[in-house]
Amino acid sequence: MTTPRTTPHTGTGTAAPAPAPAPADRSRTHTWHSRPEPTPEILGMSGLEILRACLKGDLPEASIMSTLGFRLAEAEEGSVVFEGDPGDHLLNPMGTVHGGFLATLLDSALGSAVMTRLPAGTTYTTVQLGVHMIRPVLARTPTLRCEGTALHVGRTTATAEARVIGAEDGKLYAHATTTCVILRP
């Protein structure tokens, strides 16, 4: 339901008409590649092999990455790095970058760090995410770097930690931990 717009009283017994919304002065085009159907070749790849195939462009990256403007930069056994570019398309009503951008960046790094340690045919999903925002991100904040590390990958659960830092200045913007459930075939 839409809340009616109120306007100040003009003193004439009628309310002044509400101003028309300003026309959009920016646009953002979003394209992505569809996730491929799981083939025997893909099902035979470990989590690290899948992420490395995404880095090389052999497999499409997750569509959430192009939606929000971040990318996988590195993937090694037990660790990953994502980089993200804040912008005014991510602002909340207070004029800072929405915390959901940082939470998604962190969740991606946490889960992918766990994924690097999973064998072929095994998946995971987040069951707990704890995020700590340290400083605000502004539209003009330079590229952010999110480093995720798997701490424990067991038979049924995994834990990881991640940090978002300024790629240029090294300032800490946020950090997080996760617990994931491991889904074995």
Tell me the C-alpha to C-alpha distance, in Å, between residue 139 and each of 28, 78, 82, 174.
15, 31, 18, 16
pLDDT value at residue 86: 96
In contact, 177 and 120? CB cutoff 8 Å: no
Crossing angle of helices 47-56 and 99-115, in 10° steps, is 120
pLDDT at 6: 44
pLDDT in tens, the chain (185 residues): 444 444 444 455 556 676 766 667 888 888 888 888 888 898 899 999 999 999 999 999 999 999 999 999 999 999 999 999 999 999 999 999 999 999 999 999 999 999 999 999 999 999 999 999 999 999 999 999 999 999 999 999 999 999 999 999 999 999 999 999 999 98
pLDDT at 2: 46
pLDDT at 4: 45
89: DSSP letter: G
* Global pTM value: 0.85
pLDDT at 5: 44
